[in-house]
Amino acid sequence: METRQLGNSNLYITPIIMGTWQAGKRMWVGIEDSDSIKAIREAFESGITTIDTAEVYGEGHSERIVGQALKDVRDQVIYATKVFANHLKYDQVLTACHHSLKNLQTDYIDLYQIHWPSGSWNSEIVPIEETMKALNDLKQEGKIRAIGVSNFSREQLAEALQYGNIESIQPPYSLLWRGVEKEIQPYCVKHNISIIAYSSLAQGILTGKFGTKPSFAEGDHRKDHRLFQSPHWERVQTALSQLEPIANKYNCTLGQLSIAWLIRQPKTNAIIGARNSQQVKQNSQAMEVNLTQEDVMKISDISYEVTKHLDNNPVMWNFE
């Protein structure tokens, strides 16, 4: 698989990135460690050599699964993990990084990201200068190779950049969630910052697998996703039915079409989660879908009929 430069760093990432939130199990149902390990391994075998995780995914469980799956090929993969909003004081960042290194069974993290801005999820407010000092010190020591942020606004990204190099930002971004295009994407193009999109398949909606009446097992966080709720859900159904003929034209699935569209957007790479190796194999084939510019525009127009009705709240879930 082709690789792309991560920001201005000397790291190169794959346009499709293996996401491992589900491997942490918490807030997901029906996840088996053995399936997660096989899926991560399949990603590597399929050429997806960039893996994204976070300390908060199952309180380190996802990181441990990643480390277990790839320890024998560590030098051939890029690990991206994240420090959560409640660990952004100087000493907390150092401690969190140490735990992530241990979980991942490695002595360096390629891309270390601030998962949510300080103050998110009722966390304590910590000056970005303090957090960035810790990250810069870790980089100087060789514990991390590049710094990224996640869920930051354009203003928060610009402030962080005053205290060090930021190579990437990780926002929610998909055909059905395009708020990043308003301010963040133009800023990233101007400053050569990579966009690492999460929820690239809108938590599975863009695969078309939910039918017209989605149902979720107890404990599945997706039931709270705003796109599954009326009136957005009805608009989503219309969009999917209009995208289907385009997918047929390219002899690909709806999911592959959605990924192919996303990685064609400026500075954008797509994190795709998977429960099993079959899903990974299918996702990786999106690289072979070569959309014409005309169809890229047509797909954008279809999705806009959903996204123009969403507000600017970047949080995708109506958690109580």
CB 112 within 8 A of CB 138: yes
Query: To which H or E segment does residue 129 belong?
Result: helix 128-141
- Who contacts 32 (Cβ-Cβ below 8 Å, separation ≥6)? none
Which residue is catalytic, options 57, 173, 187, 198?
A: 57
Sign of the dihedral through C-alpha 20, 205, 310, 217 = negative
The Cα 154–Cα 145 span in angstroms is 23
Is 108 among the catalytic positions? Answer: no
Could you tell me how far CA 140 lies from the centroid of its own chain? 26
The Cα 84–Cα 82 span in angstroms is 6
Helix (H, G, I), strand (E, B) or coil at 47: coil
Task: Give φ, ψ of 203 to 5 degrees.
Answer: 55, 35
CB 165 within 8 A of CB 8: yes
- Who contacts 151 (Cβ-Cβ below 8 Å, separation ≥6)? 115, 116, 117, 120, 170, 171, 172, 314
The Cα 244–Cα 38 span in angstroms is 30
CB 114 within 8 A of CB 166: no
As annotated, the active-site residues are 57
